[in-house]
Structure 1
Amino acid sequence: MAVPHELTSLVHDCADCPIRHRAVCARCEADELQRLEQIKYYRSYQAGQTIIWSGDRMDFVASVVTGIATLTQTMEDGRRQMVGLLLPSDFVGRPGRSTAAYDVTATTDLVMCCFRRKPFEEMMSTTPHVAQRLLEMTLDELDAAREWMLLLGRKTAREKIASLLAIIARRDASLKLRSAEGAMAFDLPLTREEMADYLGLTLETVSRQMSALKKDGVIELDGKRHIIVPDFDALLEETGDDSDGGFLV
């Protein structure tokens, strides 16, 4: 697929990449980036398009450059569960595994920076900066999965909505090299239906809790997707997490 025109400069110059400081190549030196350049290519997907099906062979690994994708798993009887979100800078695929573990679907228009899997695996064994960064990202993903277990198992509907908004707000701030504090604004990448699916709630509950957070001044809505947070600390107070970064028990 063709790469969008606005990413033309990105394709030719990694220094201008919007996820460079968070991606798997974040610690790479110039010579290492040059090696990655030799095995790199870009793919773009339209919203709703399936990137890979569970069980399919994956000949690449990738970083999400722009857009959002979902990870879903389908049971034998056809029931589907969204098990994760892929936000900009998140890594897709697993070195050492030739098949996909989940369905990966573009939620919005999506661009990925892809690396051919075999050469990438070989590079990991000879380039500590790549292997070290991927390990850090894997551990971060493990922490996020544990946090999500708490969210789905113990948090109220209001806390779930607030937690999801806080996660997206933090990532947006990180990509823009800003601190997550004070007033913030970001675009919500999920529809209400997708939020309900991801959080294990009904559509009605999501809409009701979003309206309640708006009524209480925790968030402001500009259209359907643009979220304004007047005070990020006030949003965090709604998540049920401890103020020191831990969880309330």
Structure 2
Amino acid sequence: MTLKASYEHVGCDDCPIRHRAVCAHCEKDELEELEAIKYYRSFEAGQTIIWSGDPMSFVGSVVSGIASLTQTMEDGRTQMVGLLLPSDFVGRPGREAAPYDVVATTDLVMCCFRRAPFEEMMATTPHIAQRLLEMTLDELDAAREWMLVLGRKTAREKIASLLSIIARRDASVNRKGLLGPIAFDLPLTREAMADYLGLTLETVSRQISALKKDQVIQLEGKRHVIIPDMRSLLDEAGDDSDGGFLV
């Protein structure tokens, strides 16, 4: 059974991102309306989900996997400007064209809604409009904090910040606490981390090794990360609270 097929038999009530997604506040009758217009799409790692400027016939939520938002300049230079993690929303109601390239960084499954019916439902379903507003404001806060990460933080702080973002999101989606050791599979290659953080590959590898040597993180293989104490990682990230900047 493919990953996409495994979700096609899951109702909204049992969806793993239900508590965080755009439908989080929906009542039973509203979920039934969404069920009528939803469908799943799967993408392989490296596959483009939508090109910048292309018309968007759908919107939706990332169910599993991770995607990147990338902007390309006229001379061909590109910059990764954001990450989409499970429960993040893709597309913007009211806007017909995509503002960024959206590329699957890992194998990815999306719960999609046809754009026109979704926009109509937004107009008549305050729970959806309210949740989408909350998510948009969270995204704005995250963008402002990310400006601080890229503009003012050291390479070590950047790596620690990115790891803390992914750890907290993984804990939230899977409803795990942040007390005690936290383990997750890093969804980004070191090359992708370097691109996103504006660092060289060598710097990323060096700083990860330094965090491991100082016992801030533990690594099993190249991707499995264990954080013995979240407070220590947040200290390394230069954060003065555990609220973080991507929730």
Which category describes the TM-score, using the shorter chain as reference length? over 0.9
Q: Counterparts of 1:68 and 1:112 in 2: how far apart (Å)?
A: 10
Q: Counterparts of 1:244 and 1:27 in 2: how far apart (Å)?
A: 25
Superposed counterparts of 1:48-197, under 5 Å: 48-197=46-195
**Cα contact 2:66–2:85 (8 A) shared by 1:** yes
1:112-166 CA distance string (max 9 Å, x none) = 0001111111111110000000000000000000010000000000000000000
Q: Counterparts of 1:114 and 1:237 in 2: how far apart (Å)?
A: 38
**Cα contact 1:41–1:115 (8 A) shared by 2:** yes
Q: Counterparts of 1:203 and 1:3 in 2: how far apart (Å)?
A: 31
The residue identity in structure 1 corresponding to 2:194 is A
SS at match of 1:243: coil
Aligned to 2:45: 47
TM-score (structure 2 length as normaliser): 0.96
In the TM superposition, structure 1's runs of 4+ consecutive aligned residues that sit over 6 Å from their partners are none
SS at match of 2:215: coil
Q: Does structure 1 residue 31 correspond to structure 2 residue 65?
A: no
Shift of 1:3: 5.8
SS at match of 2:102: strand
Aligned to 1:206: 204
Please, which runs of 5 or more residues in structure 1 have no aligned partner?
none
The residue identity in structure 1 corresponding to 2:6 is E
Q: Counterparts of 2:22 and 2:117 in 1: how far apart (Å)?
A: 15
Q: Counterparts of 2:208 and 2:242 in 1: how far apart (Å)?
A: 25
**Cα contact 1:46–1:106 (8 A) shared by 2:** yes
1:66-97 CA distance string (max 9 Å, x none) = 00000000001110000000000000000000
Change (3 A) 1:246 1:94: closer
**Cα contact 2:80–2:195 (8 A) shared by 1:** yes
Q: Counterparts of 2:242 and 2:166 in 1: how far apart (Å)?
A: 19
**Cα contact 2:156–2:207 (8 A) shared by 1:** yes
Aligned to 2:4: 4
- Give me the CA root mean square deviation: 1.4
The residue identity in structure 2 corresponding to 1:202 is T
Please, which runs of 5 or more residues in structure 2 have no aligned partner?
none
1:6-60 CA distance string (max 9 Å, x none) = 32422xx111111000000000001000111111111000010000000000011
Q: Counterparts of 1:6 and 1:186 in 2: how far apart (Å)?
A: 21
Change (3 A) 1:38 1:243: closer
Q: Percent identity?
A: 78
**Cα contact 1:9–1:16 (8 A) shared by 2:** no
Change (3 A) 1:244 1:85: closer
